[in-house]
Structure 1
């Protein structure tokens, strides 16, 4: 591999690690790293190498139980060279062998190279908080934290996968191992991939939520157990040599985190909230301010206008790296840009709904769900409708895309089938979310939007110990009195006002498509001619869709998905990896320079 390609790949990850860079190379093996310094600011340079030179590590993330694990390993005779939390991975591998990740709690993606055995291990954390992409070929294995960093290492630019694009259009993201690009796949959450002499030898799941045993308990016993668990997890998540803050919405999860952190700290916490005015929307800023005042945090509310967020659409697509349609990415990116001025680490409440059954679909009438299941056998009635259906699909999709859409299975079917027979339907629905939408949509947004600004997100509700606890609870503790997330709300009454805990659940809606209203005629002229659009869609169908949208004064969901695809193709797949900035013109980027 030419040195300039390795340098280019490392440079494309500079936003994830702006504080330091390092490369280790021996023969045909090269490991590159960029570092965001959180723990052991001076001594945590990577790649980390053992004193005898036998083991080399590059890692992204945090090992939350590193203090306890380090003490355990030192008692076993290990001598540490740094105070880095990630160094425990090297010594744990040496002491515990292939089962070493059973001793680890954290969010991570790493590559560990065993030099004498010419053996490389690639792994991701239990729920998939940190990304890791792999391209394996006859001439070796390449890997990176982001697709745009992997591209310079490949012999040629990969093609778009028809099935991957179909899944994006149907479900807003491409779930599972395969990505939207041919030959590029994900290491799955809770998985270790073994590579020996440049060949993939195997893959092993060291953790999966399907192993969680249901626990028949009552609220009092569960509450006592959760007191100890949540306190331990929160204390471990606070370990940092730099200041940290919290993204605060008007919801239960972030309010619970703030209440807990305020009790564990003497200093006020910086909190950040974003909101905007739009028709038929609930502004969460007043609710967030109320929670901030109650906890005496140093609160920073922001209310950007639509133009400011729309100008960030190219940067959001660049940051996301993968093709996904989550409108909340825009304000999340904006908030990370603001928080970056003050700190490097923020807590956030993702995962609470999945771990403790907070979504409305968990309360769907069982008969209704079973009737839906008839239409999608094996899915448990857990399915999405997709963006392109019926006449719209026939008019828009080109032949290759239409064929892929006809033969693409719901991603939920496989997940539903993987659940233990003894589980309830509610637990099975939680598992579906924990293995599809959470890792491949919500955690993509949380990781990429923050790391684009060099900010690390810490998500206690996605800690595998918290997830296992919530999943194990009996249904009656999770859904009761018409309320989802019943256990967590009742437990959190000591931390959060009841009027907020038991208020109707509010989704975070971002009116992105309305912001395109003044540009629809321009889009009708430009978008159908975009080369990537012409390759996969029928230009006359795209023009028809945009004419219809112009008559309605609002960009439709299918049209927005096509706009995003065209921008992603230009910025990520064809681009040079450069950050387009927070004031890029998405419309200029859509024009074909040829």
Structure 2
């Protein structure tokens, strides 16, 4: 797990100082070392978090003939099998790094090599002979990669904060992406919150020629998956072998690892397999909350930890601790996204980072095996929703801003962006095959929007903010393909989702744990956003220049009065404004600032 950045220019003249500054912005992703490569029109930089081959795996990695140069972020989980095959084909390795398999795979098969890689990755590979630079991102978008096209150069980086020093100026904001943030809690697709800055999409490979011509290719998509007529026993036998293989690959590491236990099904399953395969206790971490009415899952997590004999750490968080992580979590998230779960995840990452470099999580199980309540809507309700907001089969039809506040708060540019927030969901739904069920379409829509640009931003960025690598075995592409191919009757039964996975796990976990009602990773922000904190926040937001530029600040007294009244409090609306004000300062007004792990968020609003 690392950070990468780079430049390719039309006429040479790479600025090393800008690359070094980008590297400095990525040191949290790679505190164990920095590597730099500059040759004529190309410059690459790498910050390393050493997981595999602690001594010899420094990057950039170069082929023996000097033709190929690689900087990579992530893990190639099948590197052991790949190395054996590549050595049998005559390739000679100079390190024990998992990422060196990328170089040799490309050398043997420059067009099809990426299909052989199992893992999470974002990399840049420069081929001096062909005079081209490749940028690639893993199939599910576990690892991030951004780029910007300019008339005389193309720039890329793992995070926006590292891309900014490579640009000639800070870009303007994109109103459509900002509306997506407000309505969806994230923006998604190629375009980002910064105009002219794009995401390399999940499963995408970009080839950049010497004249800066960019060729984009999707090397993987789940759209070709078809439903298979499997019964439970046949499917369970297949999944048993598949998931054990995936987990065996994922536990390859030269450093110790642990797990975040949420109290739910997915992380408990991952823990069960970890214990089976390594045969020794792992370190586990969970969070709950102090002095709040909202129930948390800490007792369930602790029961699972005791069952498997983990070295467990339980954290009971209060408001000051959670809110104290807000500024750092916004800085770490990089892209503007609102997920309350970023806050406890940040606290967990800080605790785990004191002892570990690798942590497993259960993310992806709900998308792959249909665990969310939104997948269980009655067909008649979906039909009615689709009449009101057509295009996505009644799925994800409504934004999170209440209409009253959308009308009152949004400034002219945001109001003009209108209902564009639904466009990514409609496009994803419409891209699916006609033979797919509504459930499969909903899964695909989430897998290509909310998963890479919300859930995985939380996992990657919150953990990497403290130099910790997150591993998500449910998002191995083979598991995703298996889950999408299951018939609906195995995944959903009435008002119960994730049926196949629960039933498959019965021999490893207690039934009462597997079939308890899903709570989700909730955070009691609504209980905490009141009193003195709310009183001090209001005048700061009303005076904040970013808020006044993009929103109708005259509506804020009414907004805060509604929060104090407690009747349908606009917690999301206030939190979004607060987060945007802090993000704007960190990335637009004073880019380059790196906050401490704990800060007073009000001091960052001005």
Please state which band the TM-score falls in when normalised by the shorter chain: over 0.9
Give TM-score, length-normalised by structure 2: 0.95
Give TM-score, length-normalised by structure 1: 0.97
In the TM superposition, what are the counterparts of 1:116-265 in structure 2 within 5 Å?
Answer: 116-197=129-210, 199-265=212-278
**Mean alpha-carbon deviation: is it higher for 553-562 or for 322-331?**
553-562
In the TM superposition, what are the counterparts of 1:355-366 in structure 2 within 5 Å?
Answer: 355-366=368-379
Choose from 350, 371, 377 the match for 1:337: 350
Question: Quick check: 1:383–1:410 contact (8 Å CA) kept in 2?
Answer: no
- Distance across 1 between alignment mates of 2:208 and 2:550: 35
- Distance across 2 between alignment mates of 1:208 and 1:200: 24
Structure 1 residue 346 corresponds to structure 2 residue 359? yes
Q: Give per-residue Cα distances to partners, 1:169-220, cap 9 Å, x unaligned.
A: 1111001111011000100000001111151421000001112221111011
Choose from 487, 492, 507 the match for 1:474: 487
Choose from 590, 593, 603 the match for 1:575: 590
Structure 1 residue 290 corresponds to structure 2 residue 337? no
Question: Quick check: 1:25–1:31 contact (8 Å CA) kept in 2?
Answer: yes
Choose from 553, 558, 567 the match for 1:544: 558
Distance 1:409 1:360, change over 3 A: closer
Q: Give per-residue Cα distances to partners, 1:114-163, cap 9 Å, x unaligned.
A: 01111011010000000000001101100000000000000011011011
Question: Quick check: 2:179–2:420 contact (8 Å CA) kept in 1?
Answer: no
- Distance across 2 between alignment mates of 1:198 and 1:164: 30
Question: Quick check: 1:233–1:460 contact (8 Å CA) kept in 2?
Answer: yes
- Distance across 1 between alignment mates of 2:227 and 2:213: 35
Structure 1 residue 59 corresponds to structure 2 residue 65? no
- Give the structure 1 partner of residue 121 of structure 2: 108
- Distance across 2 between alignment mates of 1:575 and 1:14: 19
Question: Quick check: 1:278–1:511 contact (8 Å CA) kept in 2?
Answer: no
- Give the structure 1 partner of residue 3 of structure 2: none
In structure 1, the gaps of 5 or more residues are none
- Distance across 1 between alignment mates of 2:68 and 2:158: 20
Q: Give per-residue Cα distances to partners, 1:23-71, cap 9 Å, x unaligned.
A: 0000121000000000000000000000000000000000001111111
**Mean alpha-carbon deviation: is it higher for 537-546 or for 64-73?**
537-546
Structure 1 residue 520 corresponds to structure 2 residue 534? yes
- Give the structure 2 partner of residue 306 of structure 1: 319
Question: Quick check: 2:266–2:363 contact (8 Å CA) kept in 1?
Answer: yes
Question: Quick check: 1:107–1:125 contact (8 Å CA) kept in 2?
Answer: yes
- Distance across 2 between alignment mates of 1:118 and 1:202: 14
Q: CA deviation at 1:167?
A: 0.8
Q: Give per-residue Cα distances to partners, 1:473-517, cap 9 Å, x unaligned.
A: 001100125321111011001111110001111122101243231
RMSD of aligned Cα (Å): 1.4
Q: CA deviation at 1:81?
A: 1.0
- Distance across 1 between alignment mates of 2:420 and 2:505: 45
- Distance across 1 between alignment mates of 2:179 and 2:248: 43
- Distance across 2 between alignment mates of 1:429 and 1:548: 34
- Give the structure 2 partner of residue 413 of structure 1: 426
Structure 1 residue 33 corresponds to structure 2 residue 46? yes
In the TM superposition, what are the counterparts of 1:484-495 in structure 2 within 5 Å?
Answer: 484-495=497-508
SS in 2 for 1:563: helix
Question: Quick check: 1:160–1:182 contact (8 Å CA) kept in 2?
Answer: yes
Q: CA deviation at 1:407?
A: 4.5
**Mean alpha-carbon deviation: is it higher for 405-414 or for 527-536?**
405-414
The number of equivalent residue pairs is 591
Question: Quick check: 1:516–1:555 contact (8 Å CA) kept in 2?
Answer: no
Question: Quick check: 1:513–1:560 contact (8 Å CA) kept in 2?
Answer: no
**Mean alpha-carbon deviation: is it higher for 549-558 or for 187-196?**
549-558
Choose from 84, 92, 110 the match for 1:71: 84
Q: CA deviation at 1:342?
A: 1.3
Structure 1 residue 369 corresponds to structure 2 residue 382? yes
- Distance across 2 between alignment mates of 1:104 and 1:543: 54
**Mean alpha-carbon deviation: is it higher for 445-454 or for 72-81?**
72-81
Question: Quick check: 1:336–1:453 contact (8 Å CA) kept in 2?
Answer: yes
Structure 1 residue 442 corresponds to structure 2 residue 442? no
SS in 1 for 2:529: helix
- Distance across 1 between alignment mates of 2:103 and 2:280: 35
